[in-house]
Amino acid sequence: MTESTRLMQGNEACVAGALYAGLSFFAGYPITPSTEIAEILAKRLPQNGGKFIQMEDEIASLAACIGASLTGAKVMTATSGPGFSLMQENLGYAIMTETPCVIVNVQRMGPSTGAPTAPSQGDVMQARYGTHGDHEIIVLTPSSVAETFTLTVKAFNLAELLRTPVILLMDEIVGHMREGVSLPGEGELPVVTRLVPVKGMKDYLPYRADKNGVPVVAPFGAGYRFHVTGLFHGEDGFPSNKPQDIEYLGMRLHKKIENHKDHYSFFEEYLTEDAEIIVVAYGGTARSAQAAVESARSQGIKAGLFRLITLWPFPESEIERVCSQARAVVSAEMNMGQISRELERVLGKDASLHKVTHIDGTLLPPQKILLKIQEAAVND
Amino acid sequence: MTKTADIKPYLRLERYPTIWCAGCGNGQVVGAFLRAISTLDWDPKKVVVVSGIGCSSRASGYLNFNTMHTTHGRPLPFATGIKLANPELHVVVMAGDGDTTAIGGNHFIHAARRNIGITMIVFNNGTYGMTGGQCSPMTGHACKATTAPYGNLDTPFDICKLAEAAGATFVGRGITYAPVKLESLITEALKHKGFSVIDAVTQCPTYYGRLNKMGSPADMLTWQKEHVISLEKAASLPKHVIQDKIVTGVFVKDLRPEYTTLYRRLHEQCGEDDCHD
């Protein structure tokens, strides 16, 4: 550790992680509860030669990030609910054009303007399916300030490695919470930067995938002149409506995310080894879930916590492994049950699944989860 | 002006034929642009052409530069990211009138306000060609479109006035009937340091022309010829005489600090004084 422990907000840790990962371009639009990320970067980026720009809306913000990324910059934007809705259009463009970018959504309560300063986890499914068309997406969700830092670095690494947008799905609790953290020093965490083609290649094909299914797209201005489009395209980057080209690209975009799951299937287990009741939670809610599990243990109930860190692609095999040994599963989230539906899909209709849902705009209290654990302990 | 300019090296001829209909004016605008590039002798490796969605936005795919075909209405914010991240690049945006003034209207006024060093060429044919002749914000009042079958109730924008009011520092208008003049306007716009806008009035015989009974492509160009008036001549004529005319020329040529230049100064300032905590 090169820096002593300091008190830091989640949004601030996100900025620190982004700069650690090499962020050099940020375009954004103010929106609660993500605004601190833009404010801090407006100050920090010009100091280190980076660029910050406040755009006219969130559509433009993600567009500017994608443009900057195509010149080789590491880019990020940050927003919340309504702004995340506006970003869905260009999120699809980034997927299709395989442009690395990190999109931070500090979730607030919706729908619509909702409750801007109230915590929620209502965008879990929007993060997965929000942009139109069939696609895969990587979504990571931190539950502490320290983890916000490391996950931001990982989000950049994955975006660069797989040439894809990565969504960091925070929530208002984690974004605005202050905790003491010691940030890793330079070199302590790996930092990945995208590959670029060697100079002077003959017959360079910008969208020809390497063995990992990822193309080596040159930065604009580096010498290769090629075409980038949101239309289905061939390896040469030009539009194609041939069924074989469309299927090949569609499958490749799916597989490059799916086939690398081992790299980013992050989760944490707490007291799960002998657990009879597994609580599945994520983000800020996982803090309450941990407290609830500890209370249950003190009452003699063998409870454990499975904390999701990667939400999408959904870590099915890990969920199956941990939950199949338990008598009952309790899912806790600040929405009407978006992840619990996934749990039901993975564990089957016969599994004993208890849902804790919460949409009053307050933090999900440990007591509410504990009650459900107790209920499961008695009934199952 | 380089009437004999060889523009073939700037074209991806292997992508031909274009998707454009016979008689479409898009090729004339692109031709004028490429002759301008030839005059300026810019390194094609440093030229980026960003387009939106629509017939004219397919231009980027036929041009042998760094090219980007983006989302509908959004080419300017993509281009803004490119220019700000790498100010060494010459960034040109090509988009239709629907792209620029309808779905992308907000981006258009903000790029102008920012005065970022991008040249915007608007292919203004007054209709949505790609989707089959619907009404655009540039469709004339009482003109027909598939979504204005009884005649358009709206009044169109004046793109040049819009650009000027929003802060663009170079604004000009040309027509496809006069491609040499259009070329010199585009050359000036490309050389300009700041946000430059060219309203390139062009013809869509397939939809706009057919729906409004304007005849053949040649008839549409003749219509342009009969309705064009230079800014200098228009200045001395009363408003009612010029209201149905296409006024061409350079409307704005201003000097105001360009955005990426200001950003470079900000970097210098942060490097030397008390920007740091």
Give the separation between CA B68 and CA B60, rounded to whole angstroms. Answer: 6
CA angle A58, A60, A65 (to 5 degrees): 95
Residue B2 has pLDDT above 70, yes or no: no
Q: Please indicate whether, in this complex, the C-beta atoms of B80 and A60 are within 8 angstroms of each other.
A: yes
Residue B132 and residue B207 in contact, taking contact as beta carbons nearer than 8 Å: yes
Q: Which two tokens stand for residue B238?
A: 């009363």
Contacts of A231 in chain B (CB under 8 A): 69
Preceding amide of A82 cis, omega within 30: no
Preceding amide of A219 cis, omega within 30: no
Give the separation between CA A285 and CA A169, rounded to whole angstroms. Answer: 13
Q: Please indicate whether, in this complex, the C-beta atoms of A64 and B74 are within 8 angstroms of each other.
A: no
Q: Please indicate whether, in this complex, the C-beta atoms of A71 and B86 are within 8 angstroms of each other.
A: yes
Out of B78, B267, B275, name the one closest to residue A63 (CB): B78
Residue B275 has pLDDT above 80, yes or no: no
How many inter-chain contacts (A to B, CB under 8 Å) are there? 131
Contacts of A229 in chain B (CB under 8 A): 61, 68-69
Which of the 8 DSSP states describes residue A268? Answer: E
Which of the 8 DSSP states describes residue A209? Answer: B
**Residue reference for tokens 């931190």:** A142
**Residue reference for tokens 């002149």:** A225
Q: Please indicate whether, in this complex, the C-beta atoms of A67 and B79 are within 8 angstroms of each other.
A: yes
Q: Please indicate whether, in this complex, the C-beta atoms of B69 and A227 are within 8 angstroms of each other.
A: yes
Q: Radius of gyration (Cα) for chain B, nearest Å?
A: 19
Closest alpha carbon to B95 in B136, B37, B133, B144: B136
Q: Please indicate whether, in this complex, the C-beta atoms of B84 and A55 are within 8 angstroms of each other.
A: no
ipTM above 0.95, yes or no: yes
Go through chain B and tell me how many residues it has. 277
Determine how β-strand B66-69 pairs with β-strand B90-96: unpaired
| Per-residue model confidence as pLDDT tens digits over A116-158 | 999 999 999 999 999 999 999 999 999 999 999 999 999 999 9
Average pLDDT, chain A: 97
Q: Please indicate whether, in this complex, the C-beta atoms of A225 and B68 are within 8 angstroms of each other.
A: no
Give the separation between CA A230 and CA B72, rounded to whole angstroms. Answer: 10
| Per-residue model confidence as pLDDT tens digits over B93-152 | 999 999 999 999 999 999 999 999 999 999 999 999 999 999 999 999 999 999 999 999
| Per-residue model confidence as pLDDT tens digits over A237-283 | 999 999 999 999 999 999 999 999 988 999 999 999 999 999 999 99
Q: Please indicate whether, in this complex, the C-beta atoms of A46 and B275 are within 8 angstroms of each other.
A: yes
Is A243 at the interface with chain B, CB within 8 A?
Answer: no
CA angle A360, A365, A369 (to 5 degrees): 105
Contacts of B77 in chain A (CB under 8 A): 27, 55-56, 59-61, 63-64, 67
Give the separation between CA B61 and CA A162, rounded to whole angstroms. Answer: 25
| Sequential DSSP letters for B166-224 | HT-SEEEEEETTSHHHHHHHHHHHHHSSS-EEEEEE---IIIIIHHTT--SHHHHHHHH
Burial of A374 (0-12, 13-18, 19+ CB in 10 A): middle
| Sequential DSSP letters for A215-248 | B-PPPTTSS---EEESS-B-TTS-B---HHHHHH
Contacts of B84 in chain A (CB under 8 A): 25, 51, 53, 64, 68
pLDDT band (50, 70, 90) for residue B3: low
Looking at CATH, the fold of the domain delimited by A6-181 is given as Rossmann fold (3.40.50)
Residue A1 has pLDDT above 50, yes or no: no
Is A239 at the interface with chain B, CB within 8 A?
Answer: yes
| Per-residue model confidence as pLDDT tens digits over B155-164 | 999 999 999 9
Residue A95 and residue A307 in contact, taking contact as beta carbons nearer than 8 Å: no
Out of B88, B267, B270, name the one closest to residue A221 (CB): B88
pLDDT for A15: 98
Residue B273 has pLDDT above 80, yes or no: no
Give the separation between CA A311 and CA A143, rounded to whole angstroms. Answer: 12
Residue in chain B closest to A229 (alpha carbons) equals B69
Out of A27, A57, A220, name the one closest to residue B66 (CB): A220
A6-181 and A268-379 in the same fold = yes
Q: Please indicate whether, in this complex, the C-beta atoms of A46 and B266 are within 8 angstroms of each other.
A: yes
Contacts of B70 in chain A (CB under 8 A): 63, 93, 230
Mention every residue, 6+ apart, whose C-beta is less than 8 A from residue A326.
A275, A276, A277, A278, A304
pLDDT for A380: 76
Q: Please indicate whether, in this complex, the C-beta atoms of A230 and B71 are within 8 angstroms of each other.
A: yes
Give the separation between CA A304 and CA A288, rounded to whole angstroms. Answer: 13
Residue A40 has pLDDT above 80, yes or no: yes
Which of the 8 DSSP states describes residue A185? Answer: P
* Best mutation target, A54, A217, A228, to test chain B (most B CBs within 10 A): A228
Residue A312 has pLDDT above 90, yes or no: yes
Residues 20-79 of chain A with CB under 8 A from chain B are 24-25, 27, 43, 46-47, 49, 51, 53, 55-57, 59-61, 63-73, 75
Give the separation between CA A27 and CA A43, rounded to whole angstroms. Answer: 13
Name the percent of chain A lying above pLDDT 90: 97
Name the percent of chain A lying above pLDDT 70: 99
pLDDT for B10: 98
Out of A60-74, A302-316, B3-17, pick the least confident: B3-17
Q: Please indicate whether, in this complex, the C-beta atoms of B85 and A55 are within 8 angstroms of each other.
A: no
In 3-state terms chain A splits into helix, strand, coil percentages (rounded to 5) of 40, 20, 40
What is the number of alpha carbons within 13 Å of residue B204 lying toward its C-beta? 27
Domain-by-domain residue ranges, chain A?
6-181, 268-379
Residue A112 has pLDDT above 80, yes or no: yes
Q: What is the pTM of this model?
A: 0.97
Contacts of A47 in chain B (CB under 8 A): 270, 275-276
* Best mutation target, A59, A220, A231, A240, to test chain B (most B CBs within 10 A): A220
Pick the CATH number of B8-272 from 3.40.640.10, 3.40.50.1860, 3.30.465.10, 3.40.50.970: 3.40.50.970
Beta bridge partners of A53: A27
| Cα-Cα-Cα-Cα dihedral sign, residues B62, B66, B71, B72 | negative
Domain-by-domain residue ranges, chain B?
8-272
| Cα-Cα-Cα-Cα dihedral sign, residues B122, B128, B129, B133 | negative
Contacts of B48 in chain A (CB under 8 A): 220-221
Task: Give the alpha-carbon dihedral of A349, A354, A359, A361, to 10 degrees.
Answer: -140
pLDDT band (50, 70, 90) for residue B274: low
The rounded Cα A193 to chain-centroid distance in angstroms is: 18
Preceding amide of A33 cis, omega within 30: yes
pLDDT band (50, 70, 90) for residue B272: low
Determine how β-strand B66-69 pairs with β-strand A227-229: parallel
| Sequential DSSP letters for chain B | --TT---GGGB-GGGPSPSPPTT-SHHHHHHHHHHHHHHHT--GGGEEEEE-SSTGGGHHHHBSSEEEE-STT-HHHHHHHHHHH-TTSEEEEEEEHHIIIIITHHHHHHHHHHT-SEEEEEEE-SEETTTTSEE-TTSPTT--BTTBTT---S----HHHHHHHHT-SEEEEEETTSHHHHHHHHHHHHHSSS-EEEEEE---IIIIIHHTT--SHHHHHHHHHHHEEEHHHHHTS-HHHHTTSEEEEEEEE-----HHHHHHHHHHHHHHSTT--
Ramachandran angles phi, psi of A367, nearest 5° = -60, -40
Q: Which CATH class is domain A268-379?
A: alpha beta
The rounded Cα A351 to chain-centroid distance in angstroms is: 28
Q: Distance, in angstroms, between B272 CA and closest chain A CA?
A: 10
Residue B276 has pLDDT above 80, yes or no: no
Preceding amide of B17 cis, omega within 30: yes
Average pLDDT over residues B64-82: 98
Residue A352 and residue A343 in contact, taking contact as beta carbons nearer than 8 Å: no
Q: Please indicate whether, in this complex, the C-beta atoms of B69 and A230 are within 8 angstroms of each other.
A: yes
Q: Distance, in angstroms, between B68 CA and closest chain A CA?
A: 5
Q: Please indicate whether, in this complex, the C-beta atoms of A220 and B70 are within 8 angstroms of each other.
A: no
Q: Distance, in angstroms, between A286 CA and closest chain B CA?
A: 35
Residue B277 has pLDDT above 60, yes or no: no
